[in-house]
Chains A and B, each alone.
Chain A
Amino acid sequence: MNELQTIRAHHDSLPGPAPQVSAHAWELLAAEAEAERAGSGSHEPTPRRAPGRGFGRVALRAGVVVGLAAAVTAGVIVVRDDGPSPLATRPASAAELLRHAAAVSAGEDLKPRPGQFVYVDRKDVKWTVGAASTGGFEYTQDVRREVWIPAADPGKALTRSTFGDRQMISGTADPGVQPAGTVEYQRAGQCHMEASPAWSPDLGDLPADPDLLLAKTRADAEAFVDRTPPGKAPLSTEEKGRIVERILAMNLVQLAGNPFTTSGQRAVVFGALSKMPTVTMVPDAADAAGRRGVGASIKYQGPDGWEREELVFEPKTYRFLGWRSLIEAAQGGGRPQESLRGGMAVMEARIVDSMPDAPEGTPTFC
């Protein structure tokens, strides 16, 4: 290795900017653009700050920063239309979109005080397939999931599920579970099956660097695939590769949608996804609640054909709206048609001072 290559190798080994650094730099630039638009653009050299972290200038100029940061106020994150961001421009690729989303997510962490709770209100679309004595059935069901996460101990979270209507996809059998209007409470750890993604101490150990997160998630998926169950023929390299890509995509998307994932961690997830070559942009996507947005899609081969995970973002602010899981089904003589296999939409996240008392009783599946 010559001296130029040695320098280059060192340069390439350095981590990229932290998501919050990119977010603050973006805000500064957005403020400058807005100031120019308002006719007061600064042409003076920007005063240099004393060494040390912090973004004093951001605070000073926060009054003119609109759009990207405007929806994060008083500890509430509500997805809404604040008008165009001063730097809003249609991303040229899914990677650009995800980097935008990472920068936005990095700047919106909710910080509850001890004794407070993070409250997340989401709409889930649950997909179920099964068989009854009268025949097979397949349906989706809307479920409102509200999660209260104690600041002091996320392991003691409470989930309230309010079940909505079922949409039968095939079959007529009534599986006889949770009719519309059913409300169930579940305390974290109460049941073997969690109502929503569970809190895990491992979340605290997630890498803070997108490259490392991607490497770790891939390594975990490979380790899982390498564990061939006893009595089963070993998988071919190609089969393993397909399964690894599937697990990788699903795990990263699940992590993005997990209510216990902090906004900072979600930014790292988006950063990791932006580095996957299989991610493509969907200019007109819709989340599980029907809100229109711009999507980032990860396609992979499942056991029954092509499947994809689609992350959906608010088209002006790039705030995360939710995700959908879709499968391609071959249609006789026509184009393949996609059908929904589940999804989630974040409706609101905010800090609250209390959580409801869970009534006695256990959920249907526990």
Chain B
Amino acid sequence: MSAPPQDSAPPVEVSDAHLIEQSWRHPERFGALFDRYFDTVHRYVHTRLGEQAADDLAAETFLRAFRARKTYDTGRSSARAWLYGIASNLVADHRRAEARRYRALARSAAPEDVAGHDDLVVQRVAAATMQPGLAAGLARLSAGDRDVLLLVACGQLSYEEVADALGIPQGTVGSRLNRARKKLRKIIGPYEEALG
């Protein structure tokens, strides 16, 4: 087999911090940040509040970030934690809706009940349906513990990044995460075993 195709224009990796700094004078540069993270932020909010709310809040996250860009600490190369933090603050305004959603999901049908004629669609719907046990567990966590747990699980943020995102000490991140995981394990453990 011949050599693989050559990229005619190798992507130029500009750091988020550099983009944001450029956007102070050239607002259009902020568009690149949108391209990098809109899907990520949308998926995070979708996990917590559902798709419809994610459509609104992901857009709102970027509007708020754009307005606050001049306060961004350009010593932080990646803007991921910053954006997750803004999104988490917006989710916080919907605490009750989030808990309601998890409770509803906990009562909903298990993935095995999903029916359809297209295997791919079935797989996708099944995967997108939260396990009732997991939803029940998330509903019972405190808001602060849930923030930390979901930023670590969904955003794959480090303790330091979660601390930045939520404006709390790193030690608090660790203790909240431990507490959340223990509580969740108690609830979803038997469910997972039951699924075999």
Q: Which residues of A contact B (CB under 8 A)?
A: 1-11, 13-18, 21-22, 24-26, 28-30, 32-33, 36-37, 41-43, 45-46, 48-49, 51-53, 84-89, 91-93, 96, 99-100, 207, 209, 212, 215-216, 238, 242, 278, 280-283, 297, 299-301, 305-306, 308
Contacts of B53 on A, CB cut-off 8 Å? 51
**Contacting pair B43 A84 (CB below 8 A):** no
A6-B55 contact, Cβ under 8 Å, with A26-B34, A92-B13? no
What is the CA–CA distance of A10 and B14 in the complex, to the nearest angstrom? 31
**Contacting pair B120 A29 (CB below 8 A):** no
**Contacting pair A41 B67 (CB below 8 A):** yes
4 nearest A-B residue pairs (beta carbon): A13-B127, A87-B31, A299-B5, A25-B59
A216-B120 contact, Cβ under 8 Å, with A7-B150, A33-B28, A88-B31? yes
Dominant SS among interface residues on chain B:
helix
Instruction: State the Cβ distance, B38 to closest chain A Cβ, in Å.
Output: 6
What is the CA–CA distance of A8 and B134 in the complex, to the nearest angstrom? 12
Instruction: Name which of B131, B154, B185 has the most chain A CB atoms within 10 A of its CB.
Output: B154
What is the CA–CA distance of A282 and B5 in the complex, to the nearest angstrom? 13
| Residue in chain B with minimal CB distance to A41 | B67
Contacts of A308 on B, CB cut-off 8 Å? 5
Size of interface on B: residues with Cβ below 8 Å to A: 60
Contact of B28 among A21, A87, A209 (CB under 8 A): A87
**Contacting pair A91 B150 (CB below 8 A):** no
Interface CB pairs A-B, < 8 A, 30: A1-B192, A3-B181, A4-B152, A7-B153, A7-B154, A10-B130, A11-B44, A13-B124, A14-B43, A14-B51, A14-B128, A15-B124, A17-B54, A17-B55, A21-B55, A21-B59, A24-B55, A25-B55, A26-B31, A28-B59, A32-B66, A36-B27, A87-B27, A87-B31, A88-B28, A89-B28, A92-B11, A92-B32, A280-B5, A308-B5
**Contacting pair A3 B43 (CB below 8 A):** no
Contact of A282 among B8, B30, B64 (CB under 8 A): B8
What is the CA–CA distance of A325 and B47 in the complex, to the nearest angstrom? 41
Given contacts A6-B134, A29-B62, A96-B35, 19 further A-B contacts (CB under 8 A): A4-B153, A7-B150, A8-B154, A14-B128, A16-B39, A17-B39, A29-B30, A32-B63, A46-B64, A49-B56, A53-B52, A53-B55, A84-B28, A85-B28, A86-B28, A87-B34, A91-B35, A92-B13, A96-B32
Instruction: State the Cβ distance, B172 to closest chain A Cβ, in Å.
Output: 18
What is the CA–CA distance of A22 and B34 in the complex, to the nearest angstrom? 9
**Contacting pair A16 B67 (CB below 8 A):** no
Contacts of B28 on A, CB cut-off 8 Å? 33, 84-89
**Contacting pair B9 A280 (CB below 8 A):** yes
Contacts of B134 on A, CB cut-off 8 Å? 3, 6-7, 10
**Contacting pair A280 B7 (CB below 8 A):** yes
A89-B32 contact, Cβ under 8 Å, with A11-B44, A14-B46? yes
What is the CA–CA distance of A15 and B125 in the complex, to the nearest angstrom? 10
Instruction: State the Cβ distance, A307 to closest chain B Cβ, in Å.
Output: 10
Contacts of A297 on B, CB cut-off 8 Å? 8
**Contacting pair A212 B124 (CB below 8 A):** yes
**Contacting pair A33 B59 (CB below 8 A):** no
**Contacting pair A7 B2 (CB below 8 A):** no
Contacts of A42 on B, CB cut-off 8 Å? 67
What is the CA–CA distance of A84 and B27 in the complex, to the nearest angstrom? 13
Bitwise, B145-184 to A at CB < 8 A (1) or not (0) is 0000110111010000000000000000000000001001
B1 at the interface (CB under 8 A from A): yes
**Contacting pair B2 A14 (CB below 8 A):** no
Contacts of A41 on B, CB cut-off 8 Å? 67
Contacts of A3 on B, CB cut-off 8 Å? 134, 137, 153, 181, 184-185, 188
A306-B31 contact, Cβ under 8 Å, with A14-B128, A17-B42? no
What is the CA–CA distance of A147 and B145 in the complex, to the nearest angstrom? 59
A25-B58 contact, Cβ under 8 Å, with A11-B44, A86-B28? yes
Instruction: State the Cβ distance, A115 to closest chain B Cβ, in Å.
Output: 33
| Residue in chain A with minimal CB distance to B150 | A7
| Residue in chain B with minimal CB distance to A295 | B8
